[in-house]
Structure 1
Amino acid sequence: MPMQYDAIIIGGGHNGLVTAFYLARAGLKVHICEARDIVGGACVTEEFAPGFRNSTASYTVSLLQDRVASDMNLGEHGLTIVNRPLNNFLPLTNDYLKVGPGVTESEVARFSEKDAAALGAYDQRLEVLADQMRRLALKIPPGLGLKGMAALATQGWPMLGLSKGEQHDLFTLFTRSAREFLDGWFESDPIKAVLGFDSIVGHFASPDTPGSAYVLLHHVFGQVNGVKGAWGHAIGGMGAITKAMATAAREKGVSIGLEERVARVNIVNGKAKGVTLEDGRVLEAPIVASNAGPALLFRQLVDRAELPAEFARSMDGYATGSGTFRMNVALSELPEFSVLKGHGPHHGAGIIIAPSLDYMDRAYTGAKAYGWSAKPIVEMLIPSTLDDTLAPPGRHVASLFCQQFAPKLPDGQSWDDVREKVADLIIDTVTAHAPNFKRSIIARQIHSPLDLERKFGLIGGDIFHGRMSLDQLWAARPVLGHGNHRMPVKGLYLCGSGAHPGGGVTGAPGHNAAKAILSDRFYGFARA
């Protein structure tokens, strides 16, 4: 006889765990089906070489919602997050730029006094706009119809309190390129490179692409230990977050099945009735919430015949592919940068190898034409400088987050055929700035876009479950009319990063989906 639950969650990533926690806290019998042999989805810590552990896919924390962390008592369940000593370090050919508390203005002044003077106003303006994102993060976007219009008015009303300049910049961020937005504030390449880097993280696009300015804003609306816009490290790696979440969920009665790969969502008379696993087992529930992305859910797990034709057509055009290539390396020593000798706070920063917006644009155009650029964009973090649990004494681990790499290669090539070659290129890119880097590598773990898809279910290797563009944001994420987490099959919900407010380790989509589910359950909609 099939196992019966009140709700089944597809995928044990952080948002799936959050949804499960809130539903179980409300008294529902909840089960999570996780395809891998470890809970956490792409937010995990794994050993990739003897004695060396690192965050496998997601690699840094800032966007995790305080409400979620508080409700789940993540601190009491062992989660500790520490701030980076510097936000960013940008090595250049013969110089460098450090960005962080107490140093940014004097550092930028070495390149432009005008830019240094503009920093305060820029930070203040961006903070006002980021507050709008924070305000909306834990709200369910409006649907269509009269209720949707009422929700639209309620959520949009506070924006009328912004000044004309703030309203202009908010509109600009959603519609213009990151370059256009930053050119309105700064003149020197280094500061525009550091700030503009956020616009292409997980975004297969150029900083010249219209709408790329929003992606910049998306990456600054977080906070760490009360410091807005800061980035930090979870002691034990990103898996410490999902480990604490899993503990919180289990305490509320959630059951978590590992190596339970869902083959299809079972739908009867237009209603979700549970799932069938690849091993043939059937799990029944009137509520199914998918932490898997929209592309995976609706192209592989839901029979197209069960979907309205217009929705199915929209899903055919749903854009995925973040242009991401991820590596982890075990190091015998810290990298020694040519432009800044010795060990220091810069080793604990996000080390950006992309000296200008032009460099980033060329990386994208190269990748579009050939699959990858001869000069890729790399952000390197060395979390072992902040966390001695990740590597043996005197050794280190580094995360290499790399852009731009096409989800599909031209001329019928496979990422399996070129992944080692591309990994060598990335290593050489870092070594050009830190000559000892290549020879210090003990082991490496490679995740091409295809690896990310196969291992984590990220279609096209998309770390955000779908492009973060204006047509796939807020009430239109994943498509207009279903931004409220309710899919066009009764009882089927979207709770992962393919829902509002999008990618990153936030917990917000999971929180909001649970809120929608409990609301529908209260009014009887999910069972209607």
Structure 2
Amino acid sequence: MERYDAVVIGAGHNGLTCACYLAKAGLRVKVLERRAAVGGAAASAEFHPGFRNSVAAYTVSLLQAKVIRDLRLSEHGLRIVERPLANFLPLENGYLKVGGGLQATQRELARFSARDAERLPHYWAVLGRVADALRELALQCPPNVGGGFIDLLRALKAGRLLKALDMEARRDFLFFFTRSAGELLEQWFESEGIRAAFGFDAVVGNYASPYHAGTAYVLLHHSFGEVNGKRGVWGHAIGGMGAISEALAAEARRHGVDIECNARVVRVAQGTVLLEDERKITARAVVANVNPKLLYLELVDRSSLPPEFVARMQRYKCASASFRMNVALSALPRFACHPEPGPHHASGIIMAPSLAYMDCAYLDARQDGISRSPIVEMVIQSTLDDTLAPRGAHVASLFCQHFAPEADWSLRKQEAVERIFDVIESHAPGFRASLIAYSALSPADLERDFGLVGGDIFHGALTLDQLWSARPLLGYADYRAPLDGLYLCGSGAHPGGGVTGAPGHNCAREVLRDLGRRFPG
């Protein structure tokens, strides 16, 4: 029987982050990964000869700068480049470019609304102020409701952060957590294009209409990141998202972490992990980088958990309604509204011209399982990274909404692919003719391949009842499970989804606290 101080289940980016900090503190650490390579959803792979790309997660912003520094990821080869523009939206009456600086975006927006251009700096200031508070909270351990003295201290620490905000900022903070993105954006702007540009962040990975309460928070959640010290921008990891995971794995191995792939865990008990090949590994701490529903309803014997905990976990919400594709192209898409090559090809290209369009996409999926006209974001990574495709050719990620997790994906997957391609072809005639090959992941594929229950890229919906002290459940927000010595370090813990490294960082701190070790960060 193998023995370690800590065993981490899942070599996704949060599992590797947690393992790095534990090993830096002097623990003997083992990481078990059921797939053939590290990274989980943050991986890169060849999907057609000569063409490779990020497999699931596809863009960088939320990765914590502290994690990058602490774990020396740049020294291990990680290089992140900024997009020249944040977004490009083909519209019925032209196009809209967002990014490249405040003045550039204002000039673009003024073509549609002088009022919106004038209000943009104030909107970004409000968003930035609330995002700054969220950024501070991201690396804190939430207090457990009804907990002890340490939870009181954590609550006071968070309270001091909010107290430092003026009253208007506190009101804005409350608005973002409770209202809809549609309500927020319609109060600020009158032009459909800018509402859609900002509203996309409210529905990406979120099975909801932009008019649903709480979607303003999902918009905010996508706004607290940074790239190379620039806040609120998005970038690309050279080599794809797998470069992040490979850098984390290199740092983990430097500290002696034993990473074993093709090692499927089938049962978790107190201090013990059972593998599919019937090996047992014991550890003082078992740390799970998996969806909470997968951990508590499948890997842990339910009889060892409180019945009310199991009942609540069965109702834990998991559904992103996302469909993820990679495409190999013989040429750049030529958008009818802006056919010439330019910086817009290196942005996040959002094919969803209005909030009403996004609302219809959601309602279609609820009624029929698949949106008639899906929301599509295209990111052509090869415009920023020549390692991904042969010279003159390109690769692009497609992240698409809404596709009901409960649909029969064994029958409807190709139908979804064709609807996505129809949307792109309507904006970029000739797209299909340039298509060399593609890969596609339905919600069912995301669950099967990456353990994303319900295809949920966030390991659980980012709704008010599943955030902060309620993530994943009230009473268990401090990364500790109801089973002694078991911890949760994945995106099902605070602060939630995205390639952040924050849950792994925070969980490692709590494990080390319990084991009487100093946190090395």
TM-score range, shorter chain: over 0.9
Q: Which amino acid aligns with 2:192?
A: D
3-state SS, counterpart of residue 482 of structure 1: coil
Matched with 1:269 is: none
3-state SS, counterpart of residue 36 of structure 1: coil
- The Cα offsets for residues 74-126 of structure 1, whole Å up to 9 and x where unpaired, read as 00000000000100000012310000123210111111110000001111111
- Displacement of 1:230: 0.3
**Contact 2:24–2:255 (CA under 8 A) maintained in structure 1:** yes
Matched with 1:299 is: 297
- The Cα offsets for residues 203-239 of structure 1, whole Å up to 9 and x where unpaired, read as 0001011011000000010000111000000000000
**Contact 2:13–2:40 (CA under 8 A) maintained in structure 1:** yes
Q: Which amino acid aligns with 1:365?
A: L
Matched with 2:106 is: 105
Pick aligned residue for 2:159 from 156, 160, 173 = 156
Pick aligned residue for 2:443 from 441, 449, 463 = 449
Give the whole-Å Cα distance in 1 for the aligned partners of 2:155 and 2:432. Answer: 53
**Contact 2:106–2:120 (CA under 8 A) maintained in structure 1:** yes
Q: Which amino acid aligns with 1:146?
A: G
> Are residue 494 (structure 1) and residue 497 (structure 2) matched?
no
Matched with 2:260 is: 257
Matched with 1:217 is: 220
Give the whole-Å Cα distance in 1 for the aligned partners of 2:285 and 2:147. Answer: 24
Give the whole-Å Cα distance in 1 for the aligned partners of 2:414 and 2:373. Answer: 16
3-state SS, counterpart of residue 39 of structure 1: coil
- Displacement of 1:146: 3.4
Give the whole-Å Cα distance in 1 for the aligned partners of 2:386 and 2:222. Answer: 27
Pick aligned residue for 2:174 from 171, 174, 180 = 171
3-state SS, counterpart of residue 199 of structure 1: helix
Give the whole-Å Cα distance in 2 for the aligned partners of 1:467 and 1:117. Answer: 34
> Are residue 317 (structure 1) and residue 315 (structure 2) matched?
yes
**Contact 2:379–2:398 (CA under 8 A) maintained in structure 1:** yes
Give the whole-Å Cα distance in 2 for the aligned partners of 1:113 and 1:146. Answer: 54
Give the whole-Å Cα distance in 1 for the aligned partners of 2:153 and 2:315. Answer: 29
Q: Which segment is superposed worse, 180-189 or 66-75?
A: 180-189
Q: Which amino acid aligns with 2:111?
A: R
- Displacement of 1:187: 1.1
Matched with 2:5 is: 6
Matched with 1:203 is: 206
**Contact 2:147–2:475 (CA under 8 A) maintained in structure 1:** no
Number of equivalences: 514
Q: Which segment is superposed worse, 135-144 or 232-241?
A: 135-144
Give the whole-Å Cα distance in 1 for the aligned partners of 2:164 and 2:64. Answer: 24
Q: Which amino acid aligns with 1:67?
A: K
> Are residue 341 (structure 1) and residue 321 (structure 2) matched?
no
3-state SS, counterpart of residue 188 of structure 2: coil
What does residue range 287-436 of structure 1 map to in structure 2 within 5 Å?
Answer: 287-409=285-407, 414-436=408-430
Q: Which amino acid aligns with 1:53?
A: R
Q: Which amino acid aligns with 2:472?
A: P
Give the whole-Å Cα distance in 2 for the aligned partners of 1:58 and 1:27. Answer: 31
Q: Percent identity?
A: 56
- Displacement of 1:523: 8.2
Matched with 2:147 is: 145
- Displacement of 1:149: 2.6
- The Cα offsets for residues 267-301 of structure 1, whole Å up to 9 and x where unpaired, read as xxxxx222101111111112111101101101110
Give the whole-Å Cα distance in 2 for the aligned partners of 1:454 and 1:161. Answer: 45
**Contact 2:271–2:486 (CA under 8 A) maintained in structure 1:** no
Matched with 2:127 is: 126
- Displacement of 1:337: 0.3
- Displacement of 1:158: 1.9
The RMSD of aligned alpha carbons is: 1.0
Give the whole-Å Cα distance in 2 for the aligned partners of 1:521 and 1:146. Answer: 19
> Are residue 484 (structure 1) and residue 478 (structure 2) matched?
yes
Structure 1 alignment gaps of length 5 or more: 267-271
Give the whole-Å Cα distance in 1 for the aligned partners of 2:360 and 2:206. Answer: 14
Give the whole-Å Cα distance in 2 for the aligned partners of 1:21 and 1:377. Answer: 37
Matched with 1:31 is: 30
3-state SS, counterpart of residue 451 of structure 1: helix
> Are residue 515 (structure 1) and residue 509 (structure 2) matched?
yes
- The Cα offsets for residues 420-467 of structure 1, whole Å up to 9 and x where unpaired, read as 121011011111000011111100000000000010111111111000
3-state SS, counterpart of residue 366 of structure 1: helix
Give the whole-Å Cα distance in 2 for the aligned partners of 1:489 and 1:101. Answer: 49
Give the whole-Å Cα distance in 2 for the aligned partners of 1:226 and 1:33. Answer: 33
Q: Which amino acid aligns with 1:258?
A: C
Give the whole-Å Cα distance in 1 for the aligned partners of 2:336 and 2:517. Answer: 64
Structure 2 alignment gaps of length 5 or more: none
Matched with 1:437 is: 431
Matched with 2:81 is: 82
What does residue range 36-55 of structure 1 map to in structure 2 within 5 Å?
Answer: 36-55=35-54
Give the whole-Å Cα distance in 2 for the aligned partners of 1:262 and 1:100. Answer: 44
- The Cα offsets for residues 329-360 of structure 1, whole Å up to 9 and x where unpaired, read as 00000000000021000000000011000100
**Contact 2:61–2:233 (CA under 8 A) maintained in structure 1:** yes
Q: Which segment is superposed worse, 278-287 or 190-199?
A: 278-287
Q: Which amino acid aligns with 1:73?
A: R
3-state SS, counterpart of residue 375 of structure 1: strand
Q: When the two structures are superposed, what TM-score results if normalisation uses the length of structure 2?
A: 0.98
Give the whole-Å Cα distance in 2 for the aligned partners of 1:382 and 1:161. Answer: 41
- Displacement of 1:416: 1.5
Q: Which amino acid aligns with 1:106?
A: R
